């Protein structure tokens, strides 16, 4: 038994209420196997059934959430799967381990290349998509499946930053050796993987979700984005682990910022480039940028090239590793393919058209096809862009370049923009874009619990709200200048929008009094900004030391979210689906009439079962 599965079992952290922590979707095979042999009743996902050369597989699950594959057919042809057990009814069962999932991917795609059970990299997904950050994993995916099905639109249905949001290696986690991520607005560092799930667990869970709801029967291709894969810098030492963990991702986002952060540009940038960058490549890039209609300033070009060249070389090496890992495990072309995004919004300042052109020309010269490029437009997370005309002109300049290179535009920090902002993005690019959203869905969970009449949902909501209120109060009087400033901005915004006085920082008691007088609401900015850290806060405590806790105390807290009521789940699912429909409509990814019909359908659901039943159609 793996160390992570032993840890979870010993602490009674089971998949049903703590999914996607282990890479496996079966923690205790000996128990599940015995239940299957004894013919014990368990959940059979009839809609999950799919065919392979070995026969038909169906997914089954016991009450703890441990899953098995049941094969009706020729087990000899599925002998690459491990731990087969023959049952007396003639079927064969296998544990839903990560190793078996990888083997199944080959069996499925070799039999049916157009299968949509696993994430893929189809041409359409490389042109237009929505990036849906899946912070609540199994609670979240069915709603995304519903939206894709209702709109007949494939999107990036699984997306998270690794290793920032997801645990990249459970062995490192168990050893207590995860790195930390600075959160200046909280004035502290929080361990990586602050949502608790592992990248393999997420990879596994998003596939099983498609099977449970029967989404794969709709034949709609979807993708899985390993977001903001850090290149270079302090990540050099663990790049092989990052590559292995992301092997089921069909879409990689390259983030050069760690290497750029430690690159110093030589005073004589031109001389450095002449000595370090192949002259033929420099000539190719210059010619390509000229062909795209841009005139280069030699000195600026040399400076940019000297700045990014070390990072680009590492990106190329990393890209080869992603390709090699897929070639080693997967036997089919469809199983090996992946899309690429180049994130350049981390470069300082607004991205110029020249910078975008040079970066795309460099990737082209290095033999890396870029499907999406993400320039900086000056977006603030969760804030509408204030000036649509200015936004249009910024995007037009970038689009002129992207079009020339056959790349689409990735809009990072894309949550919470206005309908008009999304319309501008869609109109200028002809919907050749990706909007990345993530934080929005944590907010939707808050709204779902707030609106629920279930007592346990309400208790969780109140604790969650209090957690953020206490963090805001702590921050407002912190000695750390950034932390104090941000906390006061969040508090002031909430008070002002509630029509209250904002001169409340004379002393902590005054601030507390003002916040206590507010009606608890998921619309308050301080709740919005601090909320995501409640999920893995030990004991739910509003203390810096309790945040991102990968011990049983953190996971017991996480379990509270996975135990919400059916009413809470229905609210959450409707909120997510409705936001995706809103995005698809305004960016022009789906026709207005289709979106209107989807909204109408959503409004009518009174049970989660009814909603989920419609996914497979």
| Positions that interact with Zn ion (CB under 5 A) | 343, 345, 374, 412
C-beta of residue 504 within 8 angstroms of C-beta of residue 510: yes
Shortest distance (Å) from residue 161 CB to Zn ion: 9
Q: Which two tokens stand for residue 62?
A: 């016991």
Q: Which is nearer to Zn ion, 232 or 554 (CB)?
A: 232
DSSP state of 234: G
Q: Which is nearer to Zn ion, 59 or 374 (CB)?
A: 374
DSSP state of 254: E
Q: Which is nearer to Zn ion, 7 or 379 (CB)?
A: 379
- What is the four-CA torsion angle of 12, 15, 17, 18, rounded to 10 degrees? 80
Q: Which two tokens stand for residue 467?
A: 């957690």
Shortest distance (Å) from residue 376 CB to Zn ion: 8
Sequence-distant (≥ 6) Cβ neighbours of residue 499 within 8 angstroms: none
Q: Backbone phi, then psi, for 443, in 5-degree steps?
A: -60, -40
Shortest distance (Å) from residue 120 CB to Zn ion: 23
Shortest distance (Å) from residue 345 CB to Zn ion: 4
Shortest distance (Å) from residue 263 CB to Zn ion: 18
**231 membership: H or E segment, kind and range:** none
Task: Kindly tell me the number of DSSP H helices and DSSP E strands found in the chain.
Answer: 24, 15
Shortest distance (Å) from residue 195 CB to Zn ion: 18
Shortest distance (Å) from residue 228 CB to Zn ion: 6
Q: Which is nearer to Zn ion, 221 or 374 (CB)?
A: 374
Shortest distance (Å) from residue 342 CB to Zn ion: 9
DSSP string for residues in 58-114? EEEE-TT--EEEEEEE-GGGGTTSSS-EE-TTS-EEEE--HHHHHHHHHHHHHH-TT
Shortest distance (Å) from residue 233 CB to Zn ion: 15
Q: Which is nearer to Zn ion, 155 or 342 (CB)?
A: 342
DSSP string for residues in 441-455? HHHHHHHHHHH---H
- For residue 319, give the 3-state DSSP assignment: helix
Q: Which is nearer to Zn ion, 377 or 443 (CB)?
A: 377
Q: Which is nearer to Zn ion, 52 or 225 (CB)?
A: 225
Shortest distance (Å) from residue 442 CB to Zn ion: 19
Q: 71 forms bridges with which residues in the sheet?
A: 57, 92
Shortest distance (Å) from residue 341 CB to Zn ion: 8
Shortest distance (Å) from residue 433 CB to Zn ion: 14
Shortest distance (Å) from residue 501 CB to Zn ion: 38
DSSP string for residues in 170-212? HHHHHTT---EEEEGGGTEEEES-TT--BHHHHHHHHHHHHHH
Sequence-distant (≥ 6) Cβ neighbours of residue 449 within 8 angstroms: 457, 458, 460, 461, 464, 564, 568, 571
Q: Which is nearer to Zn ion, 319 or 345 (CB)?
A: 345
Q: 161 forms bridges with which residues in the sheet?
A: 227
Q: Which is nearer to Zn ion, 134 or 211 (CB)?
A: 134
In the bound complex, which residue of the shown chain has the CB atom lying closest to Zn ion?
A: 343
Shortest distance (Å) from residue 352 CB to Zn ion: 17
Query: In angstroms, rounded to a whole number, what is the distance separating the alpha carbons of residues 449 and 567?
Result: 9
Sequence-distant (≥ 6) Cβ neighbours of residue 226 within 8 angstroms: 162, 199, 246, 249, 251, 252, 253
DSSP string for residues in 360-404? HHHHHHTT---SEEE----PPTT---S-HHHHHHHHHHHHHHHHH
Shortest distance (Å) from residue 346 CB to Zn ion: 6
Q: Which is nearer to Zn ion, 151 or 226 (CB)?
A: 226
Q: Which two tokens stand for residue 120?
A: 């893929």
Which of 156, 150, 151 lies closest to 129, judged by CA?
A: 156
Q: Which is nearer to Zn ion, 36 or 130 (CB)?
A: 130
Q: Which two tokens stand for residue 107?
A: 């069996």
Q: Which is nearer to Zn ion, 345 or 434 (CB)?
A: 345
- Walk across the sheet containing 55-61 and list its strands: 43-52, 55-61, 67-73, 92-95, 85-86
Q: Which two tokens stand for residue 110?
A: 């070799």
Q: Which is nearer to Zn ion, 362 or 373 (CB)?
A: 373
Q: Which is nearer to Zn ion, 61 or 341 (CB)?
A: 341
- What is the four-CA torsion angle of 478, 480, 485, 488, rounded to 10 degrees? -10
C-beta of residue 168 within 8 angstroms of C-beta of residue 50: no
Query: What are the C-alpha distances in Å from 411 to residues 18, 125, 425, 586?
Result: 31, 15, 9, 14
Q: Which is nearer to Zn ion, 412 or 550 (CB)?
A: 412
Burial of 332 (0-12, 13-18, 19+ CB in 10 A): middle
Shortest distance (Å) from residue 343 CB to Zn ion: 3
Q: Which is nearer to Zn ion, 91 or 437 (CB)?
A: 437
């Amino acid at each position: 038994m793996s160390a992570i599965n032993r840890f979870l079992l010993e602490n009674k952290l089971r998949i049903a209420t703590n999914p996607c922590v282990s890479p496996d979707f079966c923690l205790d095979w000996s128990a599940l196997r015995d239940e299957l042999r004894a013919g014990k009743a368990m959940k059979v996902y009839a809609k999950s059934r799919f065919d392979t050369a070995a026969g038909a597989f169906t997914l089954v699950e016991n009450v703890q959430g441990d899953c098995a594959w049941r094969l009706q057919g020729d087990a000899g042809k599925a002998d690459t799967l491990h731990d087969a057990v023959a049952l007396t009814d003639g079927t064969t069962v296998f544990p839903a381990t990560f190793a078996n999932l990888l083997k199944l991917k080959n069996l499925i795609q070799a039999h049916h290349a157009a299968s949509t059970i696993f994430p893929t990299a189809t041409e359409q997904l490389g042109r237009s998509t929505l990036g849906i950050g899946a912070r609540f994993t199994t609670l979240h995916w069915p709603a995304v499946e519903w939206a894709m099905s209702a709109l007949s639109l494939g999107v990036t249905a699984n997306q998270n930053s690794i290793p920032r949001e997801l645990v990249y290696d459970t062995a490192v986690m168990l050893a207590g050796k995860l790195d930390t991520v600075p959160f200046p607005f909280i004035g502290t560092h929080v361990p990586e993987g602050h949502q608790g799930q592992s990248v393999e667990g997420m990879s596994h869970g998003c596939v099983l979700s498609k099977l449970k709801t029967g989404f794969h029967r709709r034949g709609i291709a979807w993708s899985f984005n390993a977001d903001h894969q850090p290149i270079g810098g302090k990540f050099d030492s663990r790049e092989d682990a990052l590559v292995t963990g992301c092997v089921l991702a069909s879409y990689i986002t390259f983030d050069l910022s760690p290497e750029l952060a430690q690159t110093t540009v030589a005073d004589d940038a031109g001389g450095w480039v002449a000595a370090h960058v192949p002259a033929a490549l420099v000539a190719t890039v210059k010619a390509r940028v000229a062909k795209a209609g841009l005139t280069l300033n030699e000195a600026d070009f040399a400076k940019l090239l000297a700045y990014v060249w070390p990072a680009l070389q590492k990106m190329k090496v990393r890209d080869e590793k992603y390709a090699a890992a897929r070639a080693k495990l997967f036997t089919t072309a469809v199983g090996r393919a992946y899309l690429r995004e180049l994130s350049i919004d981390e470069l300082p300042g607004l991205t110029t058209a020249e910078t975008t052109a040079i970066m795309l020309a460099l990737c082209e010269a290095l033999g890396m096809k870029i499907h999406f490029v993400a320039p900086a437009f000056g977006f603030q997370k969760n804030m509408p862009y204030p000036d649509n005309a200015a936004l249009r002109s910024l995007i037009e300049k970038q689009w002129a370049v992207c079009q020339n290179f056959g790349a689409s535009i990735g809009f990072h920090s894309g949550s919470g923009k206005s309908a008009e902002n999304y319309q501008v993005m869609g109109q200028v690019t002809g919907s050749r874009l990706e909007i990345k959203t993530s934080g929005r869905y944590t907010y939707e969970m808050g709204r779902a619990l707030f609106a629920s009449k279930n007592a346990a949902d309400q208790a969780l909501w109140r604790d969650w709200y209090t957690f953020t209120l206490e963090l805001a109060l702590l921050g407002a009087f912190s000695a750390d200048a950034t932390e104090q400033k941000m906390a006061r901005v969040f508090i002031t915004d909430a008070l002002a929008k509630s029509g209250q006085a904002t001169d409340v920082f004379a002393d902590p008691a005054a601030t507390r009094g003002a916040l206590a007088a507010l009606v608890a609401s998921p619309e308050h900015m301080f709740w919005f900004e601090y909320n995501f850290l409640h999920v893995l806060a030990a004991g739910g405590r509003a203390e810096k030391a309790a945040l991102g806790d990968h011990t049983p105390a953190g996971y017991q807290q996480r379990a509270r979210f996975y135990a919400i009521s059916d009413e809470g789940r229905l609210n959450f699912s409707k909120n997510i689906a409705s936001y995706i429909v809103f995005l698809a409509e305004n960016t022009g990814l789906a026709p207005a009439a289709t979106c209107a019909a989807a909204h109408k359908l959503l409004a009518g659901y009174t049970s989660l079962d009814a909603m989920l039943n419609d996914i497979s159609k």
